[in-house]
């Protein structure tokens, strides 16, 4: 465990120079004494209490779970259930392996990393309060760096629909476990599409809530300003039940905000932006065209303009840079964070020092991190500005329509082995990541099959109108299933 030590005068002088402070020796000496007192206070606080709330019980652990598709990792000897009186009673549930569950080893899908939290993430507590039977942890791409679902350091994840196709990531185990029927609901995290991409590849429903709608306390960050937690299920109603159970403000996460109750009109207006179709392959465009025709009975379907600009590149500038900052800060977020757990920070620091990240993670992070350091943060600022511009385009579109509908993926699920750290990445991320940068809710659901593979669409609503996105997805699901 990393201890708290008092900096000496040389340390203070180095930090002062880095911050542009020019202090005389007596001021440095006084600062050193103040730092010593602060170090004692920090040590006492750390000893006395944890920022995370312990679980009411620490259930027995039964080691790694075995399943046909490599979807599950560590689990409980018997499914853990706290309550039987709730909307999720009888549902078998798994949570992605970057979400803390008391007594279960957390690997974040990475080889050589293990940490066992003594507390439950906020969403785990809410699942248990709603009656869910928690089976265990779902496999994932290491440290949530997908997007193909092929980069787990634990065990490969297989797409139950077609073993030669990618399962999608980074919540690969969550999507495949639901598709295989191993669990009824799985939670994933979505920073650039990591719930929606595996849902689309595996032919299930996936929900990315509005940023701040679901607490991320107890969730390992990727990019703190983009991270969300959402459910995957085999139908919209089940996903909606899970979302209702986990959403809402939490005092441990200052970013959480209540969602709005937005009723859709009898004939909702739906915009299908051409810009989201331009890079799509013919099978996907054909399926969206069919959907457009089938929706004309129940929806007022319109073409809308949502210029793409450089929003794809903005995601790389923002997401990878925030992860690099998090690593530089040894697993602690300065500012508004959702989890302050010293044991986790120690475990991550030890992993970085003794083993380090996989080549796949390094290739995804290093370009943006190097550019950020070389240009004093200006690329990150540029990414944020581009996200603001795209957000303005979205708001203009929502002035005319109730919902937007776009393809989730630009192509059918790729064959395994074709996608590297940057190859064809935007076939998967290109239509999903923009809504992480703006914080809008998006619900993904299968709408068609092409060559035996699923094609999915995502339904986007205004920020915090998550219920409207769910309602629209339910109407589309009904329409698709009856045509």
The residues annotated with a catalytic role in the active site are 96, 170, 194
Overall size of the chain counted in residues: 483
Measured CA to CA, the distance from residue 410 to residue 426 in angstroms comes to: 8
**Which two tokens mark 142?**
């290491």
Q: In what order do the strands lie in the sheet with 92-96?
A: 61-64, 72-80, 133-138, 92-96, 185-190, 228-233, 205-208, 442-450, 453-460, 403-407, 269-273, 300-304
Measured CA to CA, the distance from residue 11 to residue 32 in angstroms comes to: 9
Bin 14: left if φ > 0, else alpha if -120 < ψ < 50, else beta: alpha
Q: How far is CA 462 from the centre of its chain?
A: 19
C-alpha separations of 316 from 110, 147, 189, 365, 366 in Å? 21, 13, 17, 9, 11
DSSP notation for 301-354: EEEE----TTHHHHHHHHHHHHHHHHHHTTT--SSS-S---HHHHHHHHHHHHH
Measured CA to CA, the distance from residue 186 to residue 190 in angstroms comes to: 13
Within 10 angstroms of residue 377's Cβ, the number of other Cβ atoms is 12
Q: Are 76 and 136 contacting, i.e. CB atoms less than 8 angstroms apart?
A: yes
Q: How far is CA 448 from the centre of its chain?
A: 25
C-alpha separations of 433 from 201, 208, 265, 287 in Å? 16, 11, 28, 21
In this structure, is the dihedral angle defined by the CA atoms of residues 156, 162, 164 and 168, taken in order, positive or negative?
A: negative
């Amino acid at each position: 465990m990393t201890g708290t030590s008092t900096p000496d005068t040389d340390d203070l002088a180095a930090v002062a120079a880095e911050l542009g402070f020019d202090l005389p020796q007596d001021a440095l000496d006084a600062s050193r004494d103040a730092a010593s007192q602060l170090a004692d206070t920090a040590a006492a606080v750390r000893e006395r209490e944890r920022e995370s709330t312990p679980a009411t019980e620490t259930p027995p652990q039964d080691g790694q779970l075995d399943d046909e598709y490599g979807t599950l990792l560590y689990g409980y000897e018997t499914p853990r259930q706290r309550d039987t009186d709730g909307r999720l009673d009888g549902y078998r549930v798994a949570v992605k392996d970057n979400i803390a569950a008391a007594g279960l080893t957390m690997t974040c899908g990475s080889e050589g990393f293990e940490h066992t939290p003594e507390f439950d993430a906020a969403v785990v507590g809410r699942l248990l309060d709603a009656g869910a039977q928690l089976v265990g942890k779902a496999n994932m791409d290491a440290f949530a760096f997908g997007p193909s679902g092929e980069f787990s350091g634990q065990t490969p994840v297989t797409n139950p629909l077609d073993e030669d196709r990618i399962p999608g990531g980074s919540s690969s185990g969550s999507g495949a476990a639901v598709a295989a029927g191993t669990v009824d609901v799985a939670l994933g995290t979505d920073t650039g599409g990591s719930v929606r991409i595996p849902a689309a590849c595996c032919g299930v429903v996936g929900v990315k809530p509005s940023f701040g709608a679901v607490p991320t306390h107890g969730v390992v960050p990727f990019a703190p300003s983009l991270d969300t937690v959402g459910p995957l299920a085999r139908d919209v109603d089940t996903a909606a039940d899970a979302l209702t159970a986990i959403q809402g403000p939490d005092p441990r996460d200052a970013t959480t905000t209540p969602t709005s109750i937005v009723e859709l009109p009898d004939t909702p207006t739906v915009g299908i932006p051409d810009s989201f179709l331009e890079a799509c392959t013919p099978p996907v465009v054909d399926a969206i065209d069919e959907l457009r025709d089938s929706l004309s009975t129940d929806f007022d379907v319109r073409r809308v303009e949502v210029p793409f600009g450089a929003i794809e590149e903005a995601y790389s500038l923002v997401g990878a840079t925030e992860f690099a900052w998090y690593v530089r800060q040894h697993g602690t977020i300065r500012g508004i964070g959702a989890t302050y757990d010293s044991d986790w920070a120690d475990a991550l620091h030890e992993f970085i020092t003794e083993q380090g990240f996989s080549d796949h993670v390094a290739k995804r992070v290093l370009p943006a991190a190097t550019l950020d350091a070389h240009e004093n943060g200006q690329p990150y600022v540029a990414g944020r500005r581009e996200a603001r511009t795209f957000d303005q385009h979205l708001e203009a579109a929502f002035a005319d329509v109730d919902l937007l509908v776009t393809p989730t993926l630009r192509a059918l699920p790729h064959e395994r082995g074709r996608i590297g750290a940057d190859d064809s990445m935007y076939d998967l991320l290109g239509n999903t990541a923009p809504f992480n940068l703006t914080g809008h809710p998006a619900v993904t659901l299968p709408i068609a099959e092409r060559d035996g593979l699923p094609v999915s669409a995502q339904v986007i609503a205004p920020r915090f109108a998550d219920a409207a996105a769910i309602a629209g997805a339910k109407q589309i699901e009904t329409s698709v299933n009856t045509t």
